[in-house]
């Protein structure tokens, strides 16, 4: 089953509410939490939502006052020298080495924003939007 990645941003008023679990139950959607940083001031949560439920789930989050970001969450910039350091460290194979074009490529929808590639890149060519 194909899944959509989304970043959910909670403000300090919404962070104390059980919004994710409420929406999971209401929409009967299995939402996978990939990464979360939450405290009393607010937070961000990276989730995977099944494609067949995505439209309703995203609407439910927005209706609950949660900011939803669906844009590309990571990219390899023109500074890349295609050394492959990032490929070996990616835990979800979101970065691959394309033998045909002899270049490193990002599969953005697989990225879980762990930051390992950013730390490994000698030219700082990888950007993760946080």
Instruction: Report the pLDDT averaged over residues 123-130.
Output: 82
CATH class assigned to 74-128: alpha beta
**Model confidence at 111: pLDDT above 90:** no
HEC profile for the chain?
CCEEEEEEEEECCCCCCCHHHHHHHHHCCCCEEEEEEEECCEEEEEEEEEHHHHHHHHHHHHHCCCEEECCCCEEECCCCCCCCHHHHHCCCCCEEEECCCCEEEECHHHCCCCCHHHHHCCCCCEEECC
Report the topology of domain 3-69: Alpha-Beta Plaits (3.30.70)
pTM above 0.75, yes or no: no
Looking at the chain, which residues constitute the CATH 3.30.70.260 domain(s)?
A: 3-69
Higher pLDDT, 19 or 114: 19
**Model confidence at 34: pLDDT above 80:** yes
Looking at the chain, which residues constitute the CATH 3.30.70.20 domain(s)?
A: 74-128
pLDDT band at 112 (very low <50, low <70, confident <90, very high): confident
């Amino acid at each position: 089953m194909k899944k959509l990645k989304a970043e959910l941003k909670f403000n300090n008023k919404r962070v104390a509410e059980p919004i994710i679990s409420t929406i999971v139950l209401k929409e009967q959607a299995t939402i996978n939490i990939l990464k979360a940083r939450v405290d009393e001031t607010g937070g961000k949560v990276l989730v995977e939502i099944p494609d067949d439920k995505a439209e309703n789930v995203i609407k439910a989050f927005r209706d609950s006052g949660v900011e939803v970001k669906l844009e590309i969450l990571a990219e390899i910039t023109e500074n890349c020298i295609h050394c492959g350091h990032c490929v070996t460290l990616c835990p979800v194979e979101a970065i691959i080495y394309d033998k045909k074009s002899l270049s490193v490529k990002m599969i953005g929808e697989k990225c879980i924003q762990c930051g390992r590639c950013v730390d490994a890149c000698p030219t700082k060519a990888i950007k993760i939007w946080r």
